[in-house]
Amino acid sequence: MRGPHGSLIMIGLLLSSLLVLAQVLLPFISFAHVGPPLSGWAPAPPTIDGIVGATEWTTAARVAYTTTGGISGVFYVMNDAVNLYIAVTTTDPTLSKDTTVNDKVILYFDNNHNGLGPESGDDILCWDGYMSEGFRDSFSTGDYGFWRKDTDFGGTSDGLAAATNNGTHNHFEIMHPLNTADNAHDFSLSMGDTVGFGLRLCVDGYDRGWWPSSSPSAWRDIVISSGTIYIRADGSIDPPTAPILRNRDLYTLTGNLNTGADGIVIQRNNMTLDGAGYTVQGIGAVYSKGIYLTSRSNVTIKNINVKGFHFGFVLIASSYSAILRNIIASNSYGIWLNSSSNYNTIRENKITATVQTGISLYDSSNCSIAGNGITNNWGGIGLFVSSKCSVVGNNITSNQWGISFSVSSNNNTIFHNNFVSNTKQVWPPAAYSPKNVWDAGYPFGGNYWSNYNGTDLFRGVYQNETGSDGIGDTKYIIDANNRDNYPLMGPFGPLTKTGTNVTVFPAADVSVTFEHITTEGSTTVDKTATGPAPPPGGKWRGVYYDIKTTATYSTRITIRIIYDDSGLTPQEEASLQLVYWNATGARSVGDISGPNGWPDGIVDIDDVIPIALAYASIKGTGGNYWHSPPCKNCPHNPNCDLTNDGIIDIDDVIIPALHFGQTKINWVNITTLIDTGNNLIYGETSHLSIFGIH
């Protein structure tokens, strides 16, 4: 099968991938036996004639073996939708078929895949040379020495076997249905199922041992392949038995897929494929593709685990599509776009253990690569003859190189990424590097570079004004054509490491600098339009910043927020304040609620009404207050019980009446600096809470 084609660079990478393809292993499949499982799809059934043909077993999984008795050969396995096919070659110059000197190939199966046995009822398939019997469909009676034909115990003989000798090797071919009506004696297998097996050989009447072992716990596994699944242009699913549920233009996986070929080929536009957390698993076949689109548009693929392919995702000449929130692991290439696959979105995927490059774009422009975790691959992101792409908010960590470009890959924008512990953060050398943009300007900043050793003593567009701002004072030099003018002093995103003066950027417009972090954690900001009533006067900027951290911190915290100055006069902007909600501070007695549910600093009708509605309710489990029977407003706010006696009664009504009209503001001004030229406001606090600009 021919793979995607593109530039000479692409061809070079393809050739190099062949040298390292053997590194692609198949972890992540759970199995009770030893070694990676074997799985292959038969696009056409082999002829069971005892001749292991050069072409008919091409797509089979194969492995060289040596039995415990010293016989060597090759083991082949594959399946189609109906049958399991197995071929075995042995280093034996004669094929013996008489009563005393005969050959046998015996396949023992662990039907329930528990690593125990032999157990009564486990399937046994055999080519038996005794009296030229040939195929034998048998089952275990719980002992290696005793196994019986299915037909001798009311069952049926299901399958075929044949053998030949070519002068140096014996060839054996065996076929057996995946699922028969003889349930008492045969395994029942469906696509994606796993069954353990052990191979036993007899040569010229002598037992020549097992492969890989006589112990079922050390046997190998066969995973029943699904073959390639097609979502056709007319919307149909081929084969119709594939574990995909269709609801108009939404296709949802309902089970795992295992294949020795391509995984899912999408031939339809304007649709969504939702993996629902299921896995599409390959066997690392050269040029195999987990998810494959050619000349498609407006296709969304999300929530799929794609593992064990040459290419995890391939888009050829496909545009306006999205690859979202997938786990892409142990492939030769993670995501591959080629041949003018423009205006695509690659977002929030986890890409790891890729032999070559996590995300590769060839001749594909105006794409968005955002919020992905690209870790422990050979390469992170490659833009080859691809321009005007945005690379924003990605974690690019522990790769041989973080990001790479070819000639003609110009005018790409790269900012708010974390380049951490890559052997080469940017590759190749400057002589091949085009000109791209590495920051979003001031005050939004550029990228976090783990090898940046600059300081943060100054602020401003030219970093010449006294005071830190979370941005490095000197540029991060990439090469003669490229530099990050505003490198971030801390990671973009929630990660909050231990140390002193630790800066984190939980959002593009918010930075938090902790004076001292003793335990690593996660810092987040939830921006919302609802919160405590704003302080009186001024012009509230309309956004509440609820900042939280799981890190352990002490002493001072500096908050920096980029604000919107629309609608403000110069005088109003100059008087803005960064305020902090003191949730633990004293409030007016009787102030339990405001118009939006928060205490609002004044005792008024908004406090009286909830108490009146809750009157006579009693504290129940969970701390809420209930009427018996419950009214339509149950449960009621526990704050209504101002006397804290477990019942809301006249004593609670009296308190707001006595204090009606009293005020107490819980907002605290923490402003230390306002930079109106750059729409920045700074503040200092000792605790995190809800913040606002007023």
- How far apart are alpha carbons 172 and 373 in whole angstroms? 47
Q: What is the pLDDT of residue 277?
A: 97
Q: What is the pLDDT of residue 587?
A: 57
Q: Are the C-beta atoms of residues 476 and 483 closer than 8 Å to each other?
A: yes
The residue among 388, 414, 437 that closes a domain is: 437
- Give yes or no: residues 61 and 203 share one domain: yes
- CA distances to 48, 413, 544 from 678, rounded to whole Å, are 77, 21, 20
Task: Classify the phi-psi angles of 480: left when phi > 0, otherwise alpha if psi is within -120 to 50, otherwise beta.
Answer: alpha
The residue among 437, 466, 490 that closes a domain is: 437
Token pair listed for 156:
């049926």
**Residues whose CB falls within 8 Å of the CB of residue 519, separated by 6 or more in sequence, listed in order:** 498, 551, 552
- Give yes or no: residues 195 and 314 share one domain: no
647 falls within a domain: no
442 falls within a domain: no
Token pair listed for 517:
């972090």
CATH code, domain with 329? 2.160.20
294 falls within a domain: yes
The residue among 179, 196, 223 that closes a domain is: 223
Average pLDDT, consecutive stretches of 10 residues, N- to C-terminus, the chain (694 residues)? 36 35 35 77 93 90 95 96 96 90 95 89 94 91 82 96 95 97 93 92 95 95 92 96 95 92 96 97 89 98 97 98 98 97 98 97 98 98 96 98 92 97 86 83 98 97 96 95 96 96 97 96 95 81 94 94 94 94 67 66 82 90 87 88 89 85 78 96 94 95
Token pair listed for 613:
């509605």
Q: What is the pLDDT of residue 2?
A: 35
- Give yes or no: residues 58 and 191 share one domain: yes
474 falls within a domain: no
- Give yes or no: residues 268 and 410 share one domain: yes
User: Can you tell me whether residue 432 is helix, strand or coil?
Assistant: helix
Q: What is the pLDDT of residue 29?
A: 36
Q: What is the pLDDT of residue 19?
A: 33
460 falls within a domain: no
- Give yes or no: residues 416 and 534 share one domain: no
- Give yes or no: residues 180 and 257 share one domain: no
5 falls within a domain: yes
Q: What is the pLDDT of residue 43?
A: 86
User: Can you tell me whether residue 658 is helix, strand or coil?
Assistant: helix
- Give yes or no: residues 283 and 418 share one domain: yes
Q: What is the pLDDT of residue 10?
A: 36
619 falls within a domain: no
**Residues whose CB falls within 8 Å of the CB of residue 15, separated by 6 or more in sequence, listed in order:** none
Number of structural domains in the chain: 3
Q: What is the pLDDT of residue 581?
A: 87
Q: pTM surpassing 0.85?
A: no
User: Can you tell me whether residue 216 is helix, strand or coil?
Assistant: helix
456 falls within a domain: no
- Give yes or no: residues 336 and 374 share one domain: yes
The DSSP H or E segment spanning 161 is strand 160-165
- Give yes or no: residues 110 and 149 share one domain: yes
Q: Are the C-beta atoms of residues 133 and 103 closer than 8 Å to each other?
A: no
Q: What is the pLDDT of residue 262?
A: 93
- Give yes or no: residues 12 and 83 share one domain: no
**Residues whose CB falls within 8 Å of the CB of residue 565, separated by 6 or more in sequence, listed in order:** 573, 676, 679
CATH code, domain with 68? 2.60.40.1190
Range of the domain at 678: 519-584+667-693
- Give yes or no: residues 388 and 524 share one domain: no
- Give yes or no: residues 165 and 142 share one domain: yes
